[in-house]
Amino acid sequence: MISRARTSLALTASAAALTLTAGLAVSGAQAAPSGRPEAGKGAAWTAAWATSPQRPSTGFKPNWSEAGFDGQTLRQVVRVTEGGDRARIRLSNAYGSSPLRIAGATIARTEKGAPASVRKGTVRRLTFGGRASVTIPAHGQLASDAAGLDLDAFESVTVTLHLAGTTGPATFHAQSFATSYRAKGDHAGDTAGTAFGESTESWYYLAGVDVGGTERPRRDGVALFGDSITDGFASTADRDRRWSDALAERLAKSGDRRPVLNSGIGGNLVLNDSAWYGEKSANRFARDVLDQPGVGTAVVLEGVNDIGFSETDQPTYKPAPVVSAHELIEAHRELIRQARAKGVRVVGATLLPLGGSDHYGKHAAAVSDAFNHWVRTSGEYDAYIDFDKALADPEDPERIAPAYDSGDHLHPNDAGYRAMARAVDLDAL
């Protein structure tokens, strides 16, 4: 459950509307000096779906990121949590070492029950500064122009990119729990999925889908920030059963529908960068949460990897320094400071039970208990969610309840992710 820690603080959300820099050239495009695209005049966008970019890596599971793409078309399916009458995409080359050439791109409504297919009559050719193709500089990102496409909340959207040249290693998101597809040649405008003979469970280059409409811009979006538990590890693929999905659905049922974004990265750390699991929390928090259009609340659930990686010999978990509760708390305080500086409400969460997992040991248990006590009692977060109590086994509170355990004693299953959404006091968001 969430406890109201600072009900007297009514923090107004501010959000950056990321749009393509005016007058962007087809090649040699430059990002704004901050590394983000500049906001366009009169732009009113709400992030309806987002993910957190990572450097190319096959440390967790086989994927296409290290090899990249060569004369291929990439098709990716995502579910938006807000609707509108126009849409745009955001692309990231944050970890690219060379410019990324997008030869063409489309967005369309997904055809249900037909893998890699899109609904006829809904394909929209995307442009970038009025042009059909664009080059994103190394370490840059940009947004497309608006495309007229009516979308409903909880609708699946298909984004297709034609990558005519050789891209080199690709900026991606490792664990999508959704199927992406690729084909040889240019199939960006295809409605059928027959050309797309290869698939993977990662997203590439796509960082966000934003929607707009005639209504006043919203500033009530919720971004969930964390590691694999936020990312949705062990949830059923292609069924949208992460806890972010469950929370968005619960909000809609309550009559308070609002966008919910997933900013989790499997294996992510609060205190240290990882070659496989992304930059540490303080380095990516602004990009992945605070700069998302329309976000007014951030929910932070992170730290189990910082305390648990030192308990196991898994190669990708190294180096894994032994972390104290004080170090973990100080790092969370930095996230709180960043959120407050942006006027974003920030909600903390206790770490889930980890008994019986490969992250568990005497030191990890002690640090987890101390950290959870701080979240519950310090009042430093605006509110908190007690996932530790909500998912604990009544017979053994050190462990996740069997009904919620995916089997590794660390990650919830689909029912566990729904229980996490039920643990939230919606008023505190």
Nearest residue to 79 (alpha-carbon basis) of 240, 231, 232: 240
Bridge partners (DSSP) listed for residue 297: 222, 345
The tokens for 117 are 């297919």
Distance CA 19, CA 29 (A): 13
Look at the alpha carbons of 257, 221, 160, 145 in this order and tell me if their dihedral is positive or negative: positive
pLDDT exceeds cutoff 90 at 45: yes
The label of the residue with tokens 């732009």 reads 43
Mean pLDDT of the chain: 90
Nearest residue to 210 (alpha-carbon basis) of 176, 261, 271, 275: 261
Q: What is the pLDDT of residues 192-222, one digit of tens each?
A: 999 999 999 999 999 999 999 856 567 899 9
In Å, the largest CA–CA distance within the chain is 63
Amino acid in the structure at residue 57: S
- 44 band by pLDDT with thresholds 50, 70 and 90: confident
Q: Are 237 and 177 in contact (CB under 8 A)?
A: yes
Q: What is the pLDDT of residues 378-408, one digit of tens each?
A: 999 999 999 999 999 999 999 999 999 999 9
Q: What percent of the chain has pLDDT over 70?
A: 89
Q: Are 191 and 118 in contact (CB under 8 A)?
A: yes
DSSP conformational letter for 111: P
Distance CA 176, CA 238 (A): 9
Q: What is the pLDDT of residues 157-195, one digit of tens each?
A: 999 999 999 999 999 999 999 999 999 999 999 999 999
Length of the chain: 429
Q: For the ranges 71-75, 210-214, 270-274, 282-286, which has the lowest average pLDDT? A: 210-214
Q: What is the pLDDT of residues 275-326, one digit of tens each?
A: 999 999 999 999 999 999 999 999 999 999 999 999 998 989 988 999 999 9
Write out the DSSP string of 286-346: IIIIITSTTEEEEEEE--HHHHHGGG---GGG-S-----HHHHHHHHHHHHHHHHHTT-EE
Q: What number of other Cβ atoms are within 10 A of residue 272's Cβ?
A: 18
**pTM metric for this prediction:** 0.90
The reported pLDDT for the residue numbered 238 is 97
CB-based burial, 139-165: b 16+ in 10 Å, e otherwise: ebbbbbbbbebebebbbbbbbbbbbbe
Nearest residue to 294 (alpha-carbon basis) of 9, 79, 36, 50: 50
pLDDT exceeds cutoff 70 at 34: no
**Is the backbone peptide bond immediately before 37 cis, with ω within 30 degrees of 0?**
no
